[in-house]
A and B are shown apart, each in its own frame.
Chain A
Amino acid sequence: MKATCWMGSNKVEVQEVPDPKILNARDAIVEITSTAICGSDLHLYDGYIPSAMKGDILGHEFMGRVVELGSAVTNLEVGDRVVVPFPIACGNCNACQRSMYSVCENSNPNAGLAEKLWGQSPAGIFGYSHLLGGYAGGQAEYARVPFADVGPLKIEDDGLSDEQVLFLSDIFPTGYMGAEMCDIEPGDVIAVWGAGPVGQFAAASAFLLGADRVIVIDRFAYRLEMARNHYGAETINYDETDVRAALHEMTAGRGPDACIDAVGMEAHHGAMPIHAYDRAKQAVRSQTERPHALRQAITSCRNGGTVSVVGVYGGLADKFPIGAVVNRSLTIKAGQCHVQRYMRPLLERIQNGEIDPTAIITHRMSLSDVSDGYEIFKHKRDGCEKVVLTP
């Protein structure tokens, strides 16, 4: 089959690789009909996620039709149309039973490696390095889906297009969880760093969960415009405006009630020396993050507020404003999304017309053009917000 392979920093290639086979009785093989490129893939593309290997198949946002089932999968049938959640989770361990699917205790065969870096291992993830399991990903024609009896969401309504439901695999639930972690109360003002797909869904979800106002921060005018027009957010362009001063003004000095980091480890910052410092340390890998947005989210948040981190970080961050967290009674919540927990309720919201996930799609491409897709999405060229690929 054809699959997108990571071939080193800034290099992906469509290669001919063997078709996937059933390895465990709870596996399914899915023929992929739609797949997407995620901001998380960019961290791999840029070479900041340790333990990627040449030849790894990328991709963790995909859906398709079941073509083969392991003997222990009884809830699906060949031909079923399914959306596959990006964390691989067994459904049986203590974490899964508490709905903490992205920290499943069994799905990472390389848990020992992850423990060395993080103390404990999280779940395995499709196409996301060997630290997270070494699973082949879904930017391909077919994928093997472990624990197919608990993960995939069956789409029974043929009236729903792939594009309407594809993002249930990751970014809609992720943005939603980012907003849910803010414990929003009526009247709350929520600030979101990053107007990428995750930030857009976080902003939309904050409104769904009852926020009074949502303020989205980024430097790309077209992305901020999308947040204003489609999701009704206010915006700050951090290239033009001092973010903390603007937030101070917009919240009458209180600061936002909760701040969502939807940027992650490769945050950009205009001219500040701290950006050069982060870049240098990240380049020699003596820190793995450029946590600028997170620092700003922490220092901007109101006293006693919540900082919700869904942007991805990999290892160690320097100059972390822990003093602000402690002395101002902030709460930090974080996580890879527990996607399985949100798929069904969010599917209902799509069916009820409460949200239109297709609004963020700017580029539809063929799988064979995937390397262009990565370049356009990485450099935010051509008004790119989200790339969807068809094999």
Chain B
Amino acid sequence: MASTLGWFSTGLGLAQVAAPAAVNRLAGLDDSGARRALMRAMGIRELASGVGILSRRRPTGWLWARVMGDAIDVTLLGAALRAKGNRRSRVAMATAAVVGVTLLDVVASTRTSGGDGRVAEDEPMEGKAITTINVPPEEAYRLWRDLESLAVFMDHLESVRTTGERQSHWVAHGPAGTTVEWDAEIVEDVPGELIAWRSLEGSDVDNAGRVRFVPAAKGRGTEVSVEVRYAAPGGAVGATVAKLLGEEPSQQVKDDLRRLKQVLETGEVVRSDGNPGGTRALGQVRQRAAQPVG
């Protein structure tokens, strides 16, 4: 649909620039010199957004440019409808056409804004996120370093068990009630500042991560940033990992950090009737009505 709109813009734009008088007549507008110049200008805008839409992989910005352009057209045509000397039925038809295209534009723009976050199955997947949490770095570090509490705010984890000073065993939810497991070790540990970990040989899923704690200016607490990397080997396991993370690993990490912030600042993951599981990408999309859970 986006490319159809792109070609529509290009075609209309060309006609407006090359033959403004003809377009004016077609739209039922009085064909004065000023109107022709205006029609040409609208044509140039139309061409720009057409070429923009067609030449982009993800044309959201240019589609929204079309929406704005349409808004201007609707207004101008509305003014023409009231002005004398224009053939009303034609202007009305042109207005109806523009309103229709505006609707298409809005639909296309909102669809493309939705994100194209699909990840190729054999590429390593990376997620990163950052947030500010209103506690001192040491406190945030302490909660994270007690690896077992990660499962409280990391939605895809079932449990983390400490098996040694730097070793731990992780169990994550897989699709359809399955689980994915791995052993991990801490490879860098600077109290109050940084923790880095990676999975050990023989894991279901090779992965690594790093979290940093930096004091925020103005006494606003701590800037917490996280990066995780999953080396998906492709095939069945790759698909599992993709499911595990959702299509946007960064979204997942972002939600994890939001829950970490809730836990550190308020004591718990915050729940509502519509989203009783608390912040997480899926819960936000699949809401229940805002009524007490029975």
| Chain A residues packing against B (C-beta within 8 Å) | 3, 5, 17-21, 23-26, 53-57, 72, 90, 92-94, 97, 105-113, 124, 127, 130, 133-137, 144, 146-147, 273, 277, 280-281, 284-286, 318
Residues of B within 8 A of A17 (CB): 291-292
Question: Known contacts being A72-B267, A112-B281, A134-B273, is A18 close to B289, with CB within 8 Å?
Answer: no
Most buried by A among B221, B251, B265, B283: B265
Residues of B within 8 A of A318 (CB): 71
Interface magnitude class on chain B = 35 or more
A-B contact list, 24 entries, CB within 8 Å: A23-B271, A53-B289, A56-B289, A57-B291, A72-B267, A90-B266, A93-B134, A106-B262, A107-B270, A109-B271, A109-B279, A112-B281, A113-B284, A133-B272, A134-B287, A136-B290, A136-B292, A146-B270, A146-B272, A277-B74, A277-B75, A280-B99, A284-B106, A286-B102
Residues of A within 8 A of B289 (CB): 5, 53-56
Q: Are A23 and B276 in contact (CB under 8 A)?
A: yes
Please, how many angstroms separate the alpha-carbon atoms of A109 and B288 in the complex?
Answer: 13
Residues of B within 8 A of A134 (CB): 272-275, 287-288, 290
Q: Are B103 and A21 in contact (CB under 8 A)?
A: no
With contacts A94-B220, A109-B271, A134-B290 known, what are 7 further pairs, Cβ within 8 A?
A: A56-B291, A94-B221, A105-B261, A106-B261, A134-B275, A284-B102, A286-B106
Question: Known contacts being A53-B289, A109-B278, A112-B255, is A24 close to B82, with CB within 8 Å?
Answer: no
Residues of A within 8 A of B82 (CB): 273
Please, how many angstroms separate the alpha-carbon atoms of A65 and B83 in the complex?
Answer: 63
Residues 8-47 of B, flagged 1 when their CB comes within 8 A of A and 0 if not, give: 0000000000000000000000000000000000000000
- B105's nearest neighbour on chain A, judged by CB, is A286
Please, how many angstroms separate the alpha-carbon atoms of A72 and B268 in the complex?
Answer: 11
A97 touches which of B75, B134, B275, B279 (Cβ 8 Å): B134
Please, how many angstroms separate the alpha-carbon atoms of A277 and B267 in the complex?
Answer: 49
Q: Are A135 and B274 in contact (CB under 8 A)?
A: yes
Most buried by A among B134, B220, B268, B290: B290
Q: Please give the distance in Å from B221's CB to the nearest CB on chain A.
A: 7
- A53's nearest neighbour on chain B, judged by CB, is B289
Q: Are B103 and A284 in contact (CB under 8 A)?
A: yes
- B283's nearest neighbour on chain A, judged by CB, is A109
Residues of A within 8 A of B235 (CB): none
Residues of B within 8 A of A105 (CB): 261, 265
Question: Known contacts being A97-B134, A112-B281, is A20 close to B292, with CB within 8 Å?
Answer: yes
Residues of A within 8 A of B99 (CB): 280, 284
Please, how many angstroms separate the alpha-carbon atoms of A20 and B271 in the complex?
Answer: 13
Please, how many angstroms separate the alpha-carbon atoms of A331 and B255 in the complex?
Answer: 35
Please, how many angstroms separate the alpha-carbon atoms of A55 and B287 in the complex?
Answer: 12
Q: Are B258 and A135 in contact (CB under 8 A)?
A: no
Q: Are B291 and A5 in contact (CB under 8 A)?
A: yes
- A110's nearest neighbour on chain B, judged by CB, is B284
Q: Does B175 contact A (CB under 8 A)?
A: no
Residues of B within 8 A of A53 (CB): 274, 287-290
Q: Does B208 contact A (CB under 8 A)?
A: no
Q: Are B287 and A130 in contact (CB under 8 A)?
A: yes
Residues of A within 8 A of B265 (CB): 90, 92-93, 105-106
Please, how many angstroms separate the alpha-carbon atoms of A25 and B270 in the complex?
Answer: 10
Q: Are A18 and B274 in contact (CB under 8 A)?
A: no
Q: Are A111 and B279 in contact (CB under 8 A)?
A: yes
Please, how many angstroms separate the alpha-carbon atoms of A122 and B103 in the complex?
Answer: 29
Residues of A within 8 A of B279 (CB): 109-112
Q: Does B67 contact A (CB under 8 A)?
A: yes
Question: Known contacts being A93-B265, A113-B284, is A57 close to B290, with CB within 8 Å?
Answer: yes
Please, how many angstroms separate the alpha-carbon atoms of A390 and B61 in the complex?
Answer: 50
Please, how many angstroms separate the alpha-carbon atoms of A275 and B274 in the complex?
Answer: 35
Q: Does B191 contact A (CB under 8 A)?
A: no
Q: Please give the distance in Å from A242's CB to the nearest CB on chain B.
A: 20
Q: Please give the distance in Å from A90's CB to the nearest CB on chain B.
A: 5
Please, how many angstroms separate the alpha-carbon atoms of A8 and B71 in the complex?
Answer: 28
Residues of A within 8 A of B291 (CB): 3, 5, 17-18, 55-57, 136
Which residues of B (85-135) have their CB < 8 Å from a CB of A? 99, 102-103, 106, 132, 134
Please, how many angstroms separate the alpha-carbon atoms of A312 and B258 in the complex?
Answer: 27
Please, how many angstroms separate the alpha-carbon atoms of A90 and B270 in the complex?
Answer: 10
Q: Are A24 and B270 in contact (CB under 8 A)?
A: yes
Please, how many angstroms separate the alpha-carbon atoms of A201 and B192 in the complex?
Answer: 50
Please, how many angstroms separate the alpha-carbon atoms of A58 and B284 in the complex?
Answer: 19
Please, how many angstroms separate the alpha-carbon atoms of A72 and B294 in the complex?
Answer: 23
Please, how many angstroms separate the alpha-carbon atoms of A234 and B289 in the complex?
Answer: 44
Please, how many angstroms separate the alpha-carbon atoms of A144 and B293 in the complex?
Answer: 11
Please, how many angstroms separate the alpha-carbon atoms of A233 and B251 in the complex?
Answer: 52
Residues of B within 8 A of A97 (CB): 134
Q: Are B71 and A281 in contact (CB under 8 A)?
A: yes
Please, how many angstroms separate the alpha-carbon atoms of A123 and B7 in the complex?
Answer: 43
Residues of A within 8 A of B294 (CB): 18
Residues of A within 8 A of B258 (CB): 111-112
Q: Are A106 and B270 in contact (CB under 8 A)?
A: yes
Q: Please give the distance in Å from A97's CB to the nearest CB on chain B.
A: 7
Question: Known contacts being A25-B268, A90-B265, A106-B262, is A286 close to B275, with CB within 8 Å?
Answer: no
Q: Please give the distance in Å from A144's CB to the nearest CB on chain B.
A: 7
Residues of B within 8 A of A144 (CB): 273, 292
Please, how many angstroms separate the alpha-carbon atoms of A112 and B248 in the complex?
Answer: 13
Residues of B within 8 A of A273 (CB): 78, 82
Q: Are A110 and B287 in contact (CB under 8 A)?
A: yes
Q: Are B132 and A94 in contact (CB under 8 A)?
A: yes
Q: Are B266 and A106 in contact (CB under 8 A)?
A: yes
Q: Are B273 and A136 in contact (CB under 8 A)?
A: yes
